[in-house]
């Protein structure tokens, strides 16, 4: 039945949107682009923002402060790079903030 299929689709989209809103309220430390992964792209966004070489981005600084020192700068980029390379880094990276 077409109506049931349409309602199923709407409900599925609603659940996906709700899940996305919940994630944005409690993202992973380091996931500044909010794609549910901490990658080199996140480090690049932090670098762009902190260097002011390119158009400033809107970052959630609590997510970008990967070394949790209260500042967002190149040290946070390095922390993500170390984490991605499986080197000693903040163990909270990639985990929910709250």
CATH number of the domain enclosing 21: 1.10.1330.10
Highest mean pLDDT among 2-11, 17-26, 47-56, 80-89: 80-89
Distance CA 45, CA 29 (A): 14
Average pLDDT (74-96) is 98
Give the domain extent around 55. Answer: 2-84
Question: What's the mean per-residue pLDDT of the chain?
Answer: 89
Q: Cα 66–27–79 angle (5° rounding)?
A: 15
Distance CA 32, CA 30 (A): 6
Distance CA 63, CA 7 (A): 36
Residue 92 lies in a domain: no
pTM greater than the 0.85 cutoff: no
Domain count, the chain: 1
């Amino acid at each position: 039945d077409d109506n049931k299929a349409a309602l199923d689709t709407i409900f599925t989209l609603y659940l996906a949107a709700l899940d996305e809103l919940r994630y944005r309220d409690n993202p992973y430390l380091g996931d500044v682009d909010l794609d549910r992964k901490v990658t080199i792209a996140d480090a690049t966004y932090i670098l762009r923002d902190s260097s002011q070489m390119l158009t400033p981005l809107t970052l959630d600084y609590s997510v970008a402060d990967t070394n949790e020192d209260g500042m967002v700068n190149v040290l946070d980029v390095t922390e993500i790079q170390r984490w991605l390379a499986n080197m000693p880094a903040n163990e909270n990276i990639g985990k929910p903030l709250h």
